[in-house]
Amino acid sequence: MPEPMVVKIMRAHKNAILAQEDSKMEEMARRWLQVEKKLKDDLQALALEAARMKGDGQVINKAVAMRIERAQKLLYQVRAETGRYVEWADGFISDYQALLAEQGLEHATDAIMAVMKEYDVRGTFDKLNVSAVESMIGLAGDGSPLKRYLGDVHSGAADGMLEALINGVAQGIHPTKIAEEMANGLGIGLQQAMNTARTESLRAYRNASLMQYDASGLVIGYKRISARDERTCAGCLFTDGQVFEDLSQFDEHNQGRCAAVPVLEGLPETQWQDPFDWFKAQDETTQESILGTGRFDAWKNGASLESMVKRVMDPTWGGAYVPTPVQELGN
């Protein structure tokens, strides 16, 4: 079955969004190198000192490590450097959110027009401008400032660094190598910042899209569509094709890549291949990658594909469709 125009357009938009995301993540990682660079010599010095202490018969655990004066100074510096990074990241992610919100509006407009064209419907509809989405910029999905979540960057970096120090010393690896591992451990802070950037920018994109659908006065609901590749999870794939009428809500897990195809009043819903048929047509490697080994085995033992998706509800972050935990699958 050839994919309808609206689906083709939306897939192309999504691919462009994800490519853009890669370049934004690279920028965040490049900037993070400054944090590592500033701390490099001190990581090395602490690794040396801790390795020497171990050589003298001391066990280096977290409590001991924290009492080393050099470690205390380093942790202070980690706080200062990650603090500078967070200042930068807060602005960077806010700008990125604004960009994606704007793209969300544009892409939603394109999707509505593609459906109209498909059925040869003429007419115009209200298009929101950027000011309509300004209120979500700089905020996380629960309405609190992005900075509140970026606060984890410091503790993640500090914990990751200390853990690498303790493990490295315990394993007796060379201090230079320990210092490298400590720098990698700091990177947990970067991962947290990237996670916030990805999640909150995609949320801005989805919310803006739904706002534009709603503002059009033509859209009465949306049909979920998933990315359909080996990285798509069971939660996303098996809600693909379902129609929802509430334009104020799109249940999605962190870093989900699903999109909302508009359903227009008086027009048939856009049709595409059933996700179950699609899944069954994939090779076993793809099937196992999508389900995960435990669920794949359960499916082979008779559990239904329909049972592989579960809706969970978080009081702060709202609903999400996720793969059903293996232990909850009956055979």
Contacts to Zn ion by CB under 5 A = 233, 235-236, 256
Minimum CB separation from Zn ion for residue 233, in Å? 3
Terminal C-alpha separation, the chain: 33
Q: Which is nearer to Zn ion, 256 or 275 (CB)?
A: 256
Q: Which is nearer to Zn ion, 190 or 236 (CB)?
A: 236
Sign of CA dihedral 78, 84, 90, 96: negative
In angstroms, give the least distance from the CB of 237 to Zn ion. 8
DSSP characters over 233-294: -HHHHTTTT-EE--TT-----TT---EEEEEETTSPPP----HHHHHHTS-HHHHHHHH-HH
Residue 253 Cβ vs Zn ion, minimum distance, rounded to whole Å: 6
SS3 91: helix
Q: Quick one: which of 214, 204, 195 has its CA closest to 100?
A: 204
Nearer to Zn ion, 188 or 233 (CB): 233
Task: Reduce the DSSP state of residue 232 to 3 states and report it.
Answer: coil
Q: Please, is 149 exposed, middle or buried when counting C-beta atoms within 10 Å of its C-beta (0-12, 13-18, 19+)?
A: buried
Residue with Cβ nearer Zn ion (165 or 225): 225
Contacts of 206 (CB under 8 A, 6+ apart): 104, 250, 252, 259, 260
Q: How far is the CB of 230 from Zn ion (least distance, A)?
A: 12
Q: Which is nearer to Zn ion, 241 or 256 (CB)?
A: 256
Nearer to Zn ion, 116 or 236 (CB): 236
Nearest approach in angstroms of CB 84 to Zn ion is 34
Shortest Cβ 70–Zn ion spacing (Å):
44
- β-pairing, 243-244 vs 219-225, is antiparallel
